Amino acid sequence: MHQTFKDIEVIVIDDGSMDSTRHIIKKIKDNRLRYYYFENSGRSKARNRGIENARGKYIQFLDSDDTLDILKIETAMGILNSDEKIDAIQCGTRYWKENKLVVESKASYRKNKGKLLLRQNIFPIHSVIFKKELASSFPENLSYCEDWFFWVKTLWKANIFFQPEYFGANVFIHHENTMTNYREMILGEIYILLRIKKEIACKSLLRDIKIIKQFIYYLINYNKKDLHEIGESTFTRYKLLKIIYYFTDIPIIRAVLKQVFVIKNKMIKKENLY
């Protein structure tokens, strides 16, 4: 709300959080603000609802607790209005932990931006403002890497203007990544890489090598506890593994997956004897 550029709409999606979001919003008297409540919707659903309800020409994401520099929108709009061919603008992102700057991620120009995006996520979620007409949707069955797939579908062929010296987005880190979370992130990466391979139909040896490396890492590090943690969620580790087996056409991964299940099953049966 404190942006120097005033011609904006602010869409707040409350996904059933336990904080006082609703009460805070009620106290703000500003007709630019619109509030929506979707109980237990999750991050991806919340963002999709925001896109669906957006009326403006451009979209800028912002998660709770993170911030934007007050000049970010004004700076971007000055550039966007000067050249209609520009589809999106990326600025730099600063990452903070316990009020200390830990990482600065520059928005560097990349000639091979499209190819690189098919191998890894190069766009922090708050760093980009883009045309709404380009927006795809976030996969709502993923807890990790959902923003990467969104950017692939939205910005793969977009004309992007980079601001290498301007840091307009701030991300505040509150939680440590546990080994379990890291394994889930690895699975998320593998799943996205395989969807890219199938849906974009773009051959890349480097991407295939990354799929194999990430997959082998997961196979080495997942354990009996992981299997016991599989619950009723719509997108569990086990389902991800089955999807990997279904999607990939890389023979070596099929062979490794088949062997690892045989080995893991033997290990689990052996453990159950004691």
9-63 pLDDT, tens digit each? 999 998 877 677 778 888 888 899 999 988 777 889 999 999 999 999 999 999 9
Sequence-separated (6 or more) residues with CB below 8 Å from residue 211: 190, 193, 194, 197, 248, 250, 253
Nearest CA among 209, 108, 233 for reference residue 163: 108
Q: Residue 89 is which amino acid?
A: I
Query: What is the pLDDT confidence band of residue 254, given thresholds at 50, 70 and 90?
Result: low
pLDDT at 227: 45
Query: What is the pLDDT confidence band of residue 230, given thresholds at 50, 70 and 90?
Result: very low
**H runs (alpha helix) in the chain:** 21-27, 42-53, 72-82, 113-117, 146-155, 179-199, 205-221, 224-228, 237-247, 251-272
Which helix (H) or strand (E) element contains residue 168?
Answer: strand 160-172
Q: Report all structural domains of the chain as residue ranges with CATH numbers, in order of start.
A: 10-172 (3.90.550.10), 179-272 (no CATH)
Asked whether the beta carbons of 16 and 39 are under 8 A apart, the reply is yes
β-bridge mates for residue 8, sequence order: none
Q: Count how many residues are written for the chain.
A: 274
Residue 240 has pLDDT above 60, yes or no: no
Residue 30 has φ and ψ, to the nearest 5°, of: -150, 120
Buried b (16+ CB within 10 A) or exposed e, 186-213: bbbbbbbbbbbbeeeeeebeebbebbbe
Alpha-carbon distance values, 152 to 80, 135, 148 (Å): 21, 10, 6
Sign of CA dihedral 88, 91, 92, 96: negative
Q: Which of the residue ranges 42-56, 120-134, 177-191, 248-262 would you say has the lowest mean pLDDT?
A: 248-262
